[in-house]
Amino acid sequence: MKEKLQKLKVRISSFKFKDMLLFKNLPLRRDKAIDEAPEDEINTSFPINNNARIIHPAVQQMVISEIKRHEGSGAISLLLSKEDGTASAWFRAGQYVSVKLRIGESCVTRPYSISSSPSLTKDGKLCITVKEKTGGFVSDYIMNRLKEGDKVLVSGPEGQFYHDSLRDSQNVVAVAGGSGITPFLSMAYAIRDGLEDFNLTIFYGSRTEGSILFRHELATITEATDKVRVVHVLSDEAKDGLEHGFITADLIRKHAPEDYSLFICGPDALYRHMEDVISELGLPRRKVRREIIGVSGTTVSGPEEAEVFHHLTVIQGPETFNAEASSRETLLVAFERAGIKAPAKCRSGECGWCRSKVISGTYVVSGQNDFRRRKDRDTGHIHPCVTFPASDMVLEIPRGETVADS
């Protein structure tokens, strides 16, 4: 080899020549190391990955440690605790978790805003609040069937409905209706506990004084910190010390600071009402935040159209399922009723967790919930949580997590 290099008139030091020999013999040394290595299983668990799984778990095995019924408001709160006693996932006040349950033959998920302080996570706990809903399949089960000691599967915290100092004003005006108070209660707790630093003015709409949810808790927080104020607004009765009527632009101007970001959470009627209020206030859209809106449980096409049932062929990995789907219910609801473990979190089309592929068939997507990327629309990808069947369909969906038995 030296002779060849000399003919090419290339000079190479002995040190570099040794490097070349080492490189040439690298495969031999590698094969020898492999042959001499023990046959023990390779440890692929790294500390940074372990910490990431603890801080950002995909799912949390939890137990219902306490159930509190809120008289007059038609709601209950569930205090959930980690089954293994470790800390639960840290969250930003305003985020939600998705609860997974098996009800009979159905595997269902529902998102609920966290109503407790993030400080409870160090003890492995968090709290969600469920409001009674007429004809509600899951809410009825939670309110009347679940009991202390039952196990539930809970996702990690999700959502962007929290205060961000880079995006939002130091002053936040929150407009809540009914159980829409829950993310703002969590924010109020976080401010009281020194975990968040902004000023919060809550306009809370209720029908009557007796139906106000978390009135005592909110009063206790406002006594503990001057950074939180609550303005109760009653629509169906007049009471001393409380506002009467609806949450209007004039009412917000009366109590709100000069510069603020507006956060909204409540039923569909509240969002529709607030559109005119926002316009009257002249707020730029960048100042307005709203919690994700679930799709209506009736139909996208209109209630006047007759209900039609379609056949679904659902491919999930190596398995294929058959299901019946109503034109008045989303594909995700059809999956759940058939016992298919379909992935879901927000149920509002925003997070994309349930993203699936349509092989054949036609469908309708709820316009206000169509958050798909343009490429997904072009390639026939959908979010089943906000998509309604318009014909027989063949779909390919990802696998979901195992849910707790009822």
Per-residue pLDDT of the chain (406 residues; tens, 9 = 90+): 556 545 555 555 555 656 677 787 888 888 888 888 888 877 777 888 888 887 888 899 999 999 999 998 999 999 999 988 899 999 999 999 999 998 888 889 999 999 999 999 999 999 999 998 877 889 999 999 999 999 999 999 999 999 999 999 999 999 999 999 999 999 999 999 999 999 999 999 999 999 999 999 999 999 999 999 999 999 999 999 999 999 999 999 999 998 999 999 999 899 999 999 999 999 999 999 998 777 755 545 555 568 899 999 999 999 999 999 999 999 999 999 999 999 999 999 999 999 999 999 999 998 888 999 999 999 999 999 999 999 999 999 998 765 544 4
Where in the chain is CATH 2.40.30.10?
51-155
| CA-closest candidate to residue 311, choices 302, 303, 320 | 320
From CA 174, how far away is CA 196, in angstroms rounded?
15
Where in the chain is CATH 3.40.50.80?
171-290
Q: Which residues contact 329 (CB under 8 A, 6 or more apart)?
A: 297, 388
pLDDT number for residue 405: 43
Q: What is the CA radius of gyration of the chain?
A: 28
pLDDT number for residue 207: 94
Query: Does domain 309-396 match CATH 3.30.70.270?
Result: no
pLDDT number for residue 79: 98
Where in the chain is CATH 3.10.20.30?
309-396
Classify 36 in phi/psi space as left (phi over 0), alpha (psi -120 to 50) or beta: alpha
Residue 69, both tokens: 């019924």
- CATH classification (class only), 51-155: mainly beta
Predicted model pTM: 0.83
> In CATH, what number does 171-290 get?
3.40.50.80
